[in-house]
């Protein structure tokens, strides 16, 4: 498709020609604090998407998973998210050092609505609440403390359209490549098999989860 056939939108006025202004309730739904309903959702959420921005403006979204209730609500305006063992790139944390603005999306299995939280993050190497972030006897080395500036619910349409929670819509896993196969091809690895990479990844996932 040649670029001449792509019609771009470059101003908010052009954008509003295509999509009308939202209802007043859509703007007013931000409560900017962690109320009892938000506390309940956070307590039941085992999976969080964390968005950060680097110093050059590049964006990053990182999946964070723990047993439900592992994200701590410290008060009406602060929550804490533990760091767990990963690939040591620390993309999110390095970004926060340059730009503390973060976005979080809390998911609850089977619930089509999501909780959106935006705020300012601080990296913490120790605090009394670290004991409450311990999972399987492993106390985190780092945590992210988020000062909540925006908090509101997101409607169910994305999940309804995608049928995300309906197993009958899920693809057969055997039709998708394994991470070992992907890593072998992406990194150009010629001396190791995809099966061997998958075995190493499975071992690491079992032994180094926390």
Mean pLDDT of 1-10: 91
Name the residue with tokens 């004991």. Answer: 131
Q: Is the pLDDT of residue 98 over 90?
A: yes
Residue 122 — φ and ψ, nearest 5°? -130, 135
pTM attached to this predicted model? 0.94
Mean pLDDT of 27-33: 95
Task: Check residue 141 and give its pLDDT.
Answer: 95
Task: Check residue 202 and give its pLDDT.
Answer: 96
Task: Check residue 2 and give its pLDDT.
Answer: 85
Q: How far apart are CA 19 and CA 74, in angstroms?
A: 39
Q: Write down the H helix ranges in the chain.
A: 12-18, 24-28, 36-44, 91-98, 157-162, 179-187, 194-207
Q: Is the pLDDT of residue 4 over 90?
A: no
Residues 6+ apart with CB under 8 A from 78: 145, 146, 147, 148
CA distances (Å), origin 38, targets 26, 31, 76, 85: 17, 10, 10, 27
Residue 196, Ramachandran bin (φ over 0: left; ψ between -120 and 50: alpha; else beta): alpha
Q: How far apart are CA 168 and CA 149, in angstroms?
A: 38
- Hey, how many other C-beta atoms are within 10 angstroms of the C-beta on 121? 22
Q: How far apart are CA 103 and CA 61, in angstroms?
A: 9
Q: What angle do CA 54, 209, 199 make, to 5 degrees?
A: 100
Task: Check residue 100 and give its pLDDT.
Answer: 97
Name all domains of the chain by residue range, CATH numbers in brackets: 12-162 (2.30.110.10), 171-207 (no CATH)
């Amino acid at each position: 498709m040649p670029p001449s056939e792509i019609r771009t939108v470059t101003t908010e006025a052009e954008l509003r020609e295509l999509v009308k202004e939202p209802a007043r309730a859509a703007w007013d739904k931000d409560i900017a604090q962690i109320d009892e309903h938000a506390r309940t959702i956070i307590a039941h959420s085992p999976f969080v998407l964390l968005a950060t921005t680097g110093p050059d403006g590049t964006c990053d979204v990182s999946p964070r998973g723990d047993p439900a209730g592992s994200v701590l609500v410290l008060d009406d305006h602060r929550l804490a998210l533990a760091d767990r063992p990963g690939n040591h790139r620390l993309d999110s944390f390095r970004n926060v050092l340059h730009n503390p603005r973060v976005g979080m999306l809390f998911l609850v299995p089977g619930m089509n609505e999501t909780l959106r939280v935006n705020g300012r993050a601080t990296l913490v190497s120790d605090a009394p609440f670290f004991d409450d972030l311990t999972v399987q006897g492993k106390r985190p080395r780092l945590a992210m403390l988020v000062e909540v500036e925006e908090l509101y619910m997101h409607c169910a349409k994305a999940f309804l359209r995608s049928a995300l929670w309906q197993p009958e819509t899920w693809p057969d896993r055997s039709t998708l490549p394994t991470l070992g196969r992907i890593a072998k091809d992406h990194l150009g690895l010629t001396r190791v098999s995809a099966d061997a990479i998958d075995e190493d990844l499975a071992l690491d996932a079992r032994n180094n989860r926390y």
